[in-house]
Every structure is written in structure tokens, then in C-alpha cells.
């Protein structure tokens, strides 16, 4: 080959290599180069519409939409005590475009289900928490029990005669009540519903005696006189609901329970994508209107990075396993 043609030959050879690489990797090479997100992000909520998790996620998603520059769409997938939504997200592509919004439930269910259908440590990574909040223990305003002491006394005299509602087996509203029964030394009949909203309907009509629910739904109903508040699950009274006594100040000094809400992604989601989502989440929570709304509704700030939240979830799963054993809750 003459010296004159060598540059052209090398250029042609380089072009062939580039074409071969493009053909080998195809669309994947293009996708990898796209900035995240390049299309809408979907958040699956494993609770019913209107519940604390759903309402919180929708507020946060709207802010994340503004920050990410792509729509952030919220979709409810309820059923099987929250497991339907968890299992769905476990099986999607680990690309950051489908996340799960969940509560303590994701850490609790492996201790309460014979086959939860997921392994928290292997199947999910944390994006970050949204908030933590106490729950309010409520009953019908015309019910027989006027105070927590009244309800405990009647329950002790009539084991398994009184009922409590929950959003499902293994949900936070179930565990909160189980903890109360354990510390008060009482037995109540559990009536699980498909979500807290359905349970509230029967509570309002007196079909069940009591339940725990989020401050977003129970708080206004108490203030309107449509529900009676027996107590709040935080160790002290909430500044947002100062007239509701803490359960801990009513003869159960060690009683304390918080629900936390957060976002997780399927394991294998690229680290830079998780970090981008975490940044958007934390920026959304720091916005003035959301922070003010959370304060007014009695929620507490709860900020953790992805690695910290992943570690928190794993430790909470261990705590949930011990609690289930201590409370004598069988796997179903």
C-alpha cells in the first residue's frame, strides 16, 4: 500500500470499528447516553387512594415533576395487605422509571407472611424517606368508651369481644394496635380491611370499636367531632394536635409508634439514577409549601440518603421480626 492511501485506509478501518460497536450494542448504547430521566417516572403506591401514603406521595410527586423536568405519575396498586404493589415493583426493570412508595409495611410483612414474595435486602434499594408521623387511635363519637382507660377496662372484662379495624394484616395500623394490646394486656378481635379508608367508614358507623389511622384523615374528623380520639402514638403530644393526649401519658409510659413513608427502587437500579431521584426527593421535601403542610399535619422531618435509607430499612426489618415474636403474631 502506498503512503498516499494509508491515511484513507486507517480512516475506513476506524469507521468499520465504530459501526461494529454500534451494531453490537444497538439501542442500549443510545439509552446509556441519555440523561435521566428522559421519559415519565412512575411511582406505585401500595395503599388505597386517600390514605396517608397516597396523599403524601401525590404531593411529593408533583414537586419532583418540577425538579426532574419529566412527569412523575402516581398509580395505586392495592391488595394482599400491600404485597401486590411491592411484588409488582420487584418485577419491573431496574432503570429508575418505576419506584415504590411504601410505609413500614415493606419491612414488616416478611415477619408476618409465610410467602411475602420478596426479599427486602435482595430486591430493593432505598431512594429516601418522605416523612415519619404518629397515628391517632380513634373510635366512634357515640361509642361506649369515652377514654382509653374506659376501652382498656372494658376489653379486660370482655376478652376478644371488642374489635379493632386495620388496613390489612401486617400493615402499620395492625402493628400499632397489636403493640397497644401487648402493653395494655388486652385482647381485641382484629378486623382487617382493604385499606384504611374502608375501615374508617365502618368505624364512623360504630361497626368496629377502634382503629389507628394517619393524622391526615383521622385528625380533621376528630376536630369536626365525627370521631373520638383516645390518644396519639407518639411519646409526647403532637404540636399539631395538642388536645389529643399521648397514649404514653395514659398509663402506658413505654408506648411509642411512628409510621414512616419512603421511596424504594428495584435492586440493580444504576447508582447515579438513584442519586438523581434522591436529590429530587429531598429538594421536593425542602420546598416551603410541603414543609409547611407537613408541620401543620403533625409530620416530622426524616431525611436520609439512599445508602442510609437502605440500611434503615434492613434494620427496621430486624426490629419488626423481633416485635412480631414478642407480640406473638403468627405468620399467615
Check for a shared fold between 41-133+258-327 and 134-232. Answer: yes
Tens digits of residue pLDDT in 182-241: 999 999 999 999 877 788 889 988 899 999 999 988 999 999 999 999 999 999 999 999
Burial (CB count within 10 angstroms: exposed 0-12, middle 13-18, buried 19+), residue 90: buried
* C-beta neighbour count of 69 within 10 angstroms: 10
| Cα torsion through 75, 79, 82, 88, rounded to 10 | -60
Q: If one looks up domain 41-133+258-327 in CATH, what number appears?
A: 3.40.190.150
Tens digits of residue pLDDT in 45-81: 999 888 889 999 999 999 999 999 999 999 999 988 8
pTM over 0.85? The answer is no
- Give domain limits for the chain: 41-133+258-327, 134-232
Tens digits of residue pLDDT in 93-130: 999 999 999 999 999 999 999 999 999 999 999 999 99
Report, as an integer, the average pLDDT of 235-262.
96
Report d(CA 134, CA 222) in Å as an integer.
Answer: 15
Report, as an integer, the average pLDDT of 85-89.
97
φ/ψ of 253, rounded to 5, equals -60, -25
- As its CATH architecture, domain 134-232 has 3-Layer(aba) Sandwich (3.40)
Percent of the chain residues past pLDDT 70, beyond the cut: 90
Tens digits of residue pLDDT in 309-328: 999 999 999 999 998 998 88
Amino acid at each position: 500500500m502506498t503512503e498516499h492511501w494509508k491515511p484513507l485506509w486507517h480512516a475506513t478501518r476506524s469507521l468499520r470499528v465504530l459501526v461494529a460497536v454500534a451494531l453490537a450494542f444497538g439501542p442500549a448504547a443510545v439509552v446509556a447516553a441519555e440523561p435521566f430521566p428522559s421519559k415519565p417516572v412512575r411511582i406505585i403506591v401500595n395503599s388505597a387512594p386517600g390514605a396517608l401514603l397516597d396523599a403524601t406521595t401525590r404531593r411529593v410527586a408533583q414537586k419532583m415533576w418540577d425538579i426532574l423536568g419529566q412527569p412523575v405519575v402516581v398509580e395505586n396498586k392495592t391488595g394482599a395487605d400491600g404485597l401486590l404493589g411491592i411484588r409488582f415493583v420487584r418485577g419491573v426493570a431496574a432503570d429508575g422509571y418505576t419506584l415504590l412508595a411504601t410505609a413500614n409495611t415493606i419491612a414488616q410483612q416478611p415477619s408476618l407472611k409465610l410467602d411475602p414474595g420478596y426479599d427486602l435486602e435482595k430486591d430493593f434499594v432505598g431512594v429516601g424517606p418522605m416523612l415519619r408521623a404518629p397515628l391517632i387511635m380513634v373510635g366512634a363519637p357515640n361509642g361506649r368508651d369515652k377514654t382509653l382507660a374506659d376501652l382498656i377496662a372494658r376489653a379486660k372484662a370482655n376478652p376478644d369481644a371488642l374489635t379493632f379495624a386495620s388496613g390489612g394484616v401486617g400493615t402499620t395500623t395492625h402493628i400499632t394496635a397489636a403493640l397497644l394490646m401487648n402493653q395494655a394486656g388486652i385482647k381485641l378481635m382484629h378486623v382487617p380491611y382493604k385499606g384504611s379508608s374502608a375501615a374508617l367508614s365502618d368505624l364512623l358507623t360504630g361497626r368496629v370499636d377502634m382503629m389507628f389511622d394517619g393524622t391526615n384523615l383521622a385528625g380533621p374528623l376528630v376536630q369536626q367531632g365525627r370521631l373520638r380520639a383516645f390518644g396519639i402514638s407518639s411519646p409526647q403530644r403532637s404540636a399539631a394536635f395538642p388536645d389529643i393526649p399521648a397514649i404514653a401519658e395514659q398509663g402506658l409510659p413505654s408506648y411509642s409508634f411512628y409510621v414512616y413513608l419512603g421511596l424504594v427502587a428495584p435492586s440493580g437500579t444504576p447508582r447515579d439514577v438513584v442519586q438523581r431521584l434522591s436529590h429530587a426527593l429531598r429538594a421536593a421535601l425542602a420546598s416551603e409549601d410541603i414543609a409547611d403542610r407537613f408541620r401543620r399535619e403533625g409530620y416530622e422531618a426524616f431525611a436520609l440518603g439512599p445508602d442510609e435509607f437502605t440500611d434503615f430499612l434492613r434494620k427496621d426489618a430486624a426490629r419488626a421480626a423481633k416485635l412480631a415474636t414478642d407480640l406473638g403474631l403468627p405468620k399467615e
